Amino acid sequence: MFGFGTEYEGLAFWLPLIWSGLIAVAVAMYVIVDGFDLGVGILFKAAHTENWRDRMMFSVAPIWDGNETWLILGGGGLFAVFHVAYAVLMPALYVPIILMLIALIFRGVAFEFRFKADRSKFLWDNAFFFGSLLATFFQGMVLGAFVQGFANDGRQFTGGTFDFLTPFSVLTGISLIFGYALLGATWCVMKTTGELEIWARRMAVRFLLLTIVAMAAVSVWVPFLGRQIETRWFTWPNIAFLAPIPLITAYVAYRLFRDLEEGRHYRPFFLTIGLFLLGYLGLGISLFPYNVPPNLTIWDTSNTVSSQLFALVGFAIVLPITFAYTAYAYWVFRGKVAEEISGGGYGYH
């Protein structure tokens, strides 16, 4: 594939490719679905009233658990088919991953505890906000560290505890906060009404601008990482094939801005997803076929053919069903959230 993995033949060549595609889909799913509910958490603190916060939380309460399951699939999937990548990446990312998990604990329990609390409610408002904010920040740092690459001997991580921490990874951490906040805001535009919706629109415009600035900053910085990623983009004939990507991105951003101004309800959210997918595609093009940058490819890190096949059979059968009932769960809770949710007395609470 593009001159990579040529020493592998047959299934040993194709399975890692198929699996990278599947895991890329799982990670993209995660970024989109948990992205918007983390984004709702990031906006949570800025909401003007208790009623707004109740409605925002209720818009994601029935589905957040399923959304977070994609994160487990990301970790579990890596272990299942690229266990060498899992074994190198996890120790290398020890600090940001543990901190992300702890942040997720706080925001996860906030869903349950907030409705049971009286005097301690502010505690879980804060847990939800800071949990969402920090989980996002550390996810962004993980992304930045991934683009930078990891010291390794082909089997284990050989670098230091804080290798991940650089100005670049801080930038990607902040960028992801902007991006998820945009997703969360357009989600609120889609799922809420009245004053809250108007406010969400304003937030969406603000975070759209910040997201664009952040995407540009990251793109400009990448050549300075010394990973030669830019040569992949700016050599002939690649540049001809790849040039449309930034152009389409710019158009989607413009369309999103117009949609928000024009008062559209649904399309801003899906355009934001488009924006994320374009960024994600750019990342994929920059990094392929390394899943432990800078040196280990998907073929170097993959499990035996038997393991990949065994897992693939299950995925082929189960994943469509999973998609179907997950989509159904979303369908059940379609439509805008009611404006009159008082005192947490809705749902089963």
Residues from 235 through 274 that contact other proteins (CB under 8 A): none
Least CB distance from residue 292 to other proteins, whole Å? Answer: 12
Please, which residues have CB within 8 angstroms of residue 93's CB and are 6 or more apart in sequence?
142, 145, 164
Give the shortest CB-149-to-other proteins separation in angstroms: 17
Is 341 a binding residue for other proteins by CB under 8 A? The answer is: yes
Please identify, using beta-carbon distances, which residue of 76 and 246 lies nearer to other proteins. Answer: 76
- 128 scored as a contact of other proteins (CB under 8 A): no
First CA to last CA across the chain, in angstroms?
53
Verify binding: residue 311, other proteins, rule CB under 8 A: yes
Piece of 170-178, 256-264, 266-274, 305-313 that binds other proteins (CB under 8 A): 305-313
24 binds other proteins (CB under 8 A): no
- Residue 283 beta carbon to other proteins: minimum distance, rounded to whole angstroms: 21
Give the count of residues interacting with other proteins (CB under 8 A): 81
Q: Rule CB under 8 A: is residue 345 a binding residue for other proteins?
A: yes
Answer for which of 8, 30, 52, 86 binds other proteins (CB under 8 A) is: 86
Q: Does 89 bind other proteins (CB under 8 A)?
A: yes
Q: How many CB atoms lie within 10 A of CB 40?
A: 27
27, 40, 80, 229: which one contacts other proteins (CB under 8 A)? 80
Residue range at the interface with other proteins (CB under 8 A); choices 206-214, 227-235, 286-294, 311-319:
311-319
For the range 22-28, what are the long-range contacts, defined as Cβ-Cβ under 8 Å and sequence gap of 24 or more?
22/77, 22/315, 22/319, 23/74, 23/77, 23/78, 23/81, 23/82, 24/280, 24/284, 26/70, 26/73, 26/74, 26/77, 27/70, 27/74, 28/276, 28/277, 28/280
Among 47, 87, 200, 214, binds other proteins (CB under 8 A): 87
**Nearest distance, CB of residue 48 and other proteins, angstroms:** 20
* 310 counts as binding other proteins under rule CB under 8 A: yes
314: contact with other proteins by CB under 8 A: yes
Stretch that binds other proteins, among 57-65, 226-234, 256-264, 268-276 (CB under 8 A): 57-65
Tell the smallest beta-carbon distance from residue 16 to other proteins (Å).
13
Name residues whose C-beta falls within 8 Å of residue 343's C-beta, 6 or more positions apart in sequence: none
Residue 63 or 205 with smaller CB distance to other proteins: 63
Site for other proteins in 158-187 (CB under 8 A): 158, 161
Q: Is 320 in the site for other proteins (CB under 8 A)?
A: no
When asked if residue 326 is in the footprint of other proteins (CB under 8 A), the reply is yes
Binding-site member from 93, 145, 189, 196 for other proteins (CB under 8 A)? 93
According to the binding rule CB under 8 A, does residue 50 interact with other proteins? no
**Distances from the Cα of 238 to the Cα of 61, 245, 251, 318, angstroms:** 44, 12, 21, 37
Interface with other proteins (CB under 8 A), residue from 6, 46, 49, 101: 101
Q: Which of 56, 81, 188, 218 binds other proteins (CB under 8 A)?
A: 81
Distance CA 38, CA 185 (A): 11
